[in-house]
């Protein structure tokens, strides 16, 4: 056998062999070998094979697309019968595709037919054979490739255009309703863009046909002269002219684009844009049409040089206008810039404030800031009793350690809102006890899929108090959900949809005989009886086995036809999936309904980048208009999702309501949900950033001038970070207060944030507040302080607290034992015409220990002094404050006229000559008396002892 094999190889090498197995040419060289029983496929057979393979691939792709569509519809209906959104979108995509396809295909076919006609005549004239080139199939392929992407990119423009809503507000330059820019203009721009792109594609298509035809016919004899065919060049130039003609329609949009540009570091356009460029864009379309017609005329006469000269007039005009604009800007506008740009700056101020919904802010000016007295605090007892004295991060940390109960539960987040506790609205921390599968000792398939499926209950603690040990004081706690208020009862504590449930699980019905789920204590078992999820029919088992690549879906004995698969359990993803056209806030909060059910609340926003003259904000995507128009309610047990429109004055959400009828609920929020309303921090943060520059009312000329000169920019207040020698911006915080003056009649929950002037100054300039109650939801109030007075800002107050001798000693002493000492949020709380500063100081004996509040520091400003009080709780700190204030008055009386002597200003712990501050103060003043200093130290020591005695008495109680 081996010899025969080598013999065969030798025959192949030398071209000799059996005639039946070898074929050769006349010179004896071998061409190919024939094998018995094998026949090379014919050309027709190859085509058939390609068709079969192509059909299989196409069928697989089609099935995969259909599979994805069906799965999407299934999930949307499981969330809440929202498949209509997907169907509406798919219909719009189909319409957009058909329009794009037609607009692209028709020019391609027409130009292909014309090109074939010209090529046939040309090659016949030169005595060359010509076979028509294919037109329809290439044109269809090109049109499909172009149209698919455009359809998915533009379908929403179709929907918004045909369902648009007026804003009732016109832009200041063209006088168009804002709705035109948001809903109609994008559609018109898209249509013109498609037509222009189709012309460009058709031109390239035509040129490619001519080039291929010439190269094919002339083969190896292609020369430059081969392409110089009058009909070919004329056809191509006509197509170029048509492209320019279509482009003329884009200039109306280019003029309007100026409203979204940037000038003088603001959005919009100024004097040069309005008086030169807008006029240019009005005239240039007619000039361009004239240029196109002139060029065509010269092309028809074969005067190509003149055609080129006419075409060059187009860029020459643009260069001339640019030069004129530069001259006017530099030699006319800039020397008297404010007068020329004033009205345009006013437009930017007004439109930006409207776009971010800060144009209806209620202003409140403090004529002066008065000391915090016992009488003021007694008149505002509810505000005093609800002052936040615990820190968010410390409370969350404490709750994780005290309330997780089992190793597979944890708390990922907490939120503040009001709840009726024993007949009074009380600000509370609410935290959901969620399942954390990362902590399971055994992450088997059975455990993660069937056994550990849900969280359990919530923990509630007040923000205005803590235990005698300084720990979190729970109102609702434990796996048994023990409540200290009969009005707080949880009837269904299980949380199948939450912030940590980002997986899918399979659950069984009671009585099924299948595997049960582990419940709250880690030992007892339960079954899911909710409405969430999809039944695991054989088809669904097969479907999800394919989707997740999980063969256990088909073979597991823990699943029957009544089992349910719970999908999209992460509440943010669940809420966002149905409404991809809205921005859903990731910061959800959980509330307890009157029936004792747990519901998640999320905020959703409408945005657009097409609000004229408004400043842009970037947070992943760029926009210059935002509204909190929707509240989303997700049942933590059933998973049902309801979208409530809470702002029917927003034209964008009302347009979406027209597009997707039945998706949004226009009825009011349920009262038990509305009673726990809170304004979203994410939106408030955006508005507070915009307010740094746009807090000035644009209707006053002096404000426009100030805006122009940037003389009144604000910064969000900061506090010093001693460990890193840096600063940190304050986060917005919730508090229950009675607003000063005529603004408030009772205590209410507000979200607030203080500002300081720009330029590195730290005195308090203002603070911004927004109301959270259902009745006044979203109403903003801007509190401003006298500019001729130096009101302490959070940075200065933090420095003064750090300079309090007794606190510095305590922190040093506590830290020596290895404990971690840290401060909570410094709060700036307005009470009537006073400002109270409050800050808790925490201690942690070890990294794993529970943080405890050790001291509360309160204070206020009196001239250049910081009058403070320290106590183990708020009441004691306030009593210390009142006592120190009285001491301050007595010392002032020693001055004769009550005036302060000396002083270098705020932020120092000693007087101008290095002397020690007065007792109970931090500030600047000459040295008073060593006796006073000794008394102060002894008093501080006595206060600490009294505080410890008080704690012991509280413990005994």
Confidence band for 203, pLDDT divided at 50, 70 and 90? confident
Task: Report the pLDDT averaged over residues 413-417.
Answer: 91
The angle at the Cα of 808, spanning 807 to 811, to the nearest 5 degrees, equals 80
Under the banding of pLDDT at 50, 70 and 90, the label for residue 25 is: very low
Q: Which residue has the higher pLDDT, 724 or 222?
A: 724
820 contacts 356 by C-beta, under 8 angstroms: no
The reported pLDDT for the residue numbered 31 is 45
Contacts 24+ apart (CB under 8 A), 72-76: 74/534, 74/543, 75/567, 75/568, 75/577, 76/577, 76/578
Most confident listed range (267-276, 437-446, 758-767, 826-835): 267-276
DSSP class of residue 444? -
**Percent share of the chain, pLDDT over 70:** 85
CA-based nearest residue to 118, from 104, 133, 138, 139? 133
Q: How far apart are CA 368 and CA 880, in angstroms?
A: 24
| Mean per-residue pLDDT of the chain | 85
pLDDT band of residue 782 (cuts 50, 70, 90) is very high
Q: Which of 221-230, 261-270, 713-722, 755-764 shows the lowest per-residue confidence on average (mean pLDDT)?
A: 221-230
| Alpha-carbon torsion (483, 486, 488, 494), positive or negative | positive
Of residues 162 and 954, the one with the higher pLDDT is: 162
Residue 75 has pLDDT above 70, yes or no: yes
Query: What burial letters (b/e) apply to 486-498, b meaning 16+ CB within 10 Å?
Result: eebebebbbbbbb
Q: What pLDDT does 24 receive? A: 44
**pLDDT tens for residues 706-720?**
999 998 999 999 988
Reply yes or no on whether the pLDDT at 500 is more than 90: yes
- Please determine, for residue 91, whether its predicted confidence score (pLDDT) is greater than 80: yes
Q: Is 119 helix (H, G, I), strand (E, B) or coil?
A: helix
648 has a pLDDT exceeding 70 = yes
% residues pLDDT > 90 (the chain): 54
Closest CA to 678 of 725, 627, 723, 734: 734
What are the tens digits of pLDDT across the range 37-46? 545 566 667 7
pLDDT at 943 over 60: no
At 447 the three-state DSSP class reads helix
Q: Give pLDDT, residue 922.
A: 64
What is the distance between the alpha carbons of residues 904 and 220, in angstroms, rounded to a whole number?
A: 93
Instruction: Tell me how far apart the alpha carbons of residues 136 and 116 are, in angstroms, rounded to a whole number.
Output: 12
Answer yes or no: are the C-beta atoms of 672 and 593 closer than 8 Å: yes
259 neighbors 269 (Cβ within 8 angstroms): yes
Higher pLDDT, 6 or 494: 494
Q: Greater confidence, 304 or 177?
A: 177
Residue of 310 and 453 predicted with greater confidence: 453
412 pLDDT exceeds 70?
yes
What pairing do the DSSP bridges indicate for beta strands 834-844 and 865-871?
unpaired
Most confident of 105-109, 212-216, 499-503, 722-726: 499-503
pLDDT digits (tens, 9 = 90+) for 556-573: 999 999 999 999 999 999
């Amino acid at each position: 056998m081996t010899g025969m094999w080598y013999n065969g190889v030798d025959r192949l090498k030398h071209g000799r062999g059996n005639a039946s197995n070898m074929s050769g040419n006349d010179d004896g060289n071998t061409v190919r070998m024939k094998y018995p029983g094998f026949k090379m496929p014919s050309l027709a057979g190859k085509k058939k094979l390609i068709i079969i393979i192509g059909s299989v691939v196409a069928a697989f792709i089609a099935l995969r697309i259909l599979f994805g569509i069906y799965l999407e519809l299934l999930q949307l209906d499981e969330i809440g019968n929202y498949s209509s959104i997907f169907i509406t979108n798919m219909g719009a995509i189909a319409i957009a595709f058909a329009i794009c396809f037609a607009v692209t295909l028709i020019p391609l076919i027409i130009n292909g037919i014309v090109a074939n006609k010209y090529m046939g005549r040309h090659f016949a004239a030169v005595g060359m054979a010509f076979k028509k080139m294919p037109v329809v199939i290439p044109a269809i392929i090109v049109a499909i490739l172009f149209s698919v992407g455009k359809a998915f990119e533009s379908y929403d423009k179709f929907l918004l255009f045909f369902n648009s809503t007026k804003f009732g507000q016109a832009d200041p330059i063209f006088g168009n309703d804002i709705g035109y820019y948001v809903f109609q203009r994008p559609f018109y721009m898209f249509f013109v863009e498609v037509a222009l792109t189709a012309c460009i594609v058709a031109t390239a298509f035509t040129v490619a046909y001519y080039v291929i035809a010439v190269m094919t016919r002339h083969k190896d004899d292609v020369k430059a002269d081969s392409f110089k065919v009058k009909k070919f060049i004329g056809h191509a130039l006509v197509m170029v002219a048509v492209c320019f003609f279509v482009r003329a329609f884009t200039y109306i949009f280019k003029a309007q684009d100026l409203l979204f540009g940037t000038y003088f570091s603001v959005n919009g356009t100024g004097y040069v844009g309005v008086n030169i460029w807008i006029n240019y864009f009005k005239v240039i379309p007619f000039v361009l049409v004239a240029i196109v017609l002139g060029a065509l005329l010269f092309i028809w006469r074969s005067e190509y040089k003149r055609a080129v000269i006419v075409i060059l007039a187009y860029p020459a005009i643009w260069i001339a206008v640019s030069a004129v604009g530069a001259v006017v800007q530099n030699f006319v506008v800039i020397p008297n810039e404010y007068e020329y740009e004033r009205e345009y700056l006013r437009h930017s101020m007004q439109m930006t404030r409207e776009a971010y919904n800060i144009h209806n802010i209620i202003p409140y000016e403090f004529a002066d800031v008065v000391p915090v007295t016992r009488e003021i605090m007694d008149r505002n007892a509810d505000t005093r009793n609800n002052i936040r004295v615990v820190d968010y991060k410390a409370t969350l940390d404490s709750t994780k350690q005290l309330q997780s109960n089992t190793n597979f539960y944890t708390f990922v987040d907490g939120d503040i809102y009001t709840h009726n506790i024993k007949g009074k609205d009380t600000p509370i921390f609410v935290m959901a006890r969620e399942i954390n599968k990362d902590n399971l000792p055994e992450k088997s398939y059975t455990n993660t899929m069937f056994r550990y499926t849900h969280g359990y209950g919530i923990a509630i603690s007040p923000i205005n108090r803590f235990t005698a040990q300084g720990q979190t004081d729970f109102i609702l706690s434990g796996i048994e959900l023990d409540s200290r208020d009969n009005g707080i009862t949880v009837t269904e504590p299980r949380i199948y949809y939450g912030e940590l449930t980002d997986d899918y699980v399979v659950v069984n019905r009671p009585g099924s005989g299948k595997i049960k789920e582990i419940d709250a204590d880690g030992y007892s078992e339960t079954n899911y009886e909710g409405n969430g999820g999809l039944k695991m029919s054989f088809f669904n088992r097969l479907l999800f086995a394919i989707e997740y690549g999980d063969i256990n879906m088909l073979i597991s004995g823990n699943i029957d036809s009544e089992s349910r698969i719970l999908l999209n359990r992460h509440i943010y993803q669940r809420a966002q999936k149905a409404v991809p056209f809205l921005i859903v806030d990731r910061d959800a909060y959980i509330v307890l309904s009157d029936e004792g059910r747990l519901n998640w609340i999320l905020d959703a926003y409408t945005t657009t980048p097409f609000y004229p003259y408004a400043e842009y904000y970037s947070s992943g995507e760029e926009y210059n208009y935002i509204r909190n128009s929707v509240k989303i309610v997700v049942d933590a047990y059933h998973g049902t999702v309801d979208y409530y429109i809470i702002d029917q004055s927003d034209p964008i959400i009302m347009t979406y309501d027209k597009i997707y009828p039945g998706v949004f609920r226009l009825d009011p929020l349920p009262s038990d949900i509305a009673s726990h309303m809170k304004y979203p921090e994410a939106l408030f943060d955006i508005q507070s950033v915009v307010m740094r520059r746009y807090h000035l009312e644009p209707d006053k000329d002096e404000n426009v001038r100030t805006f122009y000169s940037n003389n009144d920019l604000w910064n969000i207040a900061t506090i010093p970070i001693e460990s890193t020698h840096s600063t940190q911006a304050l986060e917005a915080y919730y508090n229950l207060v009675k607003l000063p003056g005529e603004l408030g009649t009772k205590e209410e929950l507000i979200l607030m944030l203080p500002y300081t002037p720009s330029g590195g100054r730290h005195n308090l300039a203002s603070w911004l507040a927004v109301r959270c109650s259902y009745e006044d939801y979203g109403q903003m109030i801007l509190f401003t302080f006298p500019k001729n007075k130096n009101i302490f800002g959070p940075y200065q107050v933090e420095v003064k607290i750090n300079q309090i001798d007794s606190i510095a000693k305590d922190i040093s002493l506590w830290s020596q034992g290895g404990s971690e000492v840290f401060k909570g949020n410094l709060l700036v709380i307005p009470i009537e015409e006073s400002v109270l500063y409050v800050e808790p100081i925490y201690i942690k004996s070890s990294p794993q220990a529970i943080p405890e509040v050790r001291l509360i520091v309160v204070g206020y400003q009196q001239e250049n002094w910081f009058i403070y009080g320290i106590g183990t709780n708020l009441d004691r700190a306030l009593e210390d404050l009142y006592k120190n204030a009285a001491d301050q008055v007595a010392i002032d009386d020693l001055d004769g006229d009550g005036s302060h002597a000396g002083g270098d200003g705020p932020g120092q712990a000693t007087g101008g000559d290095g002397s020690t501050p007065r007792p109970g103060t931090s500030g600047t003043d000459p040295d008073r008396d060593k006796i006073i200093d000794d008394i102060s130290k002894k008093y501080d020591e006595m206060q600490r002892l009294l505080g410890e005695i008080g704690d012991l008495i509280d413990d005994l109680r």
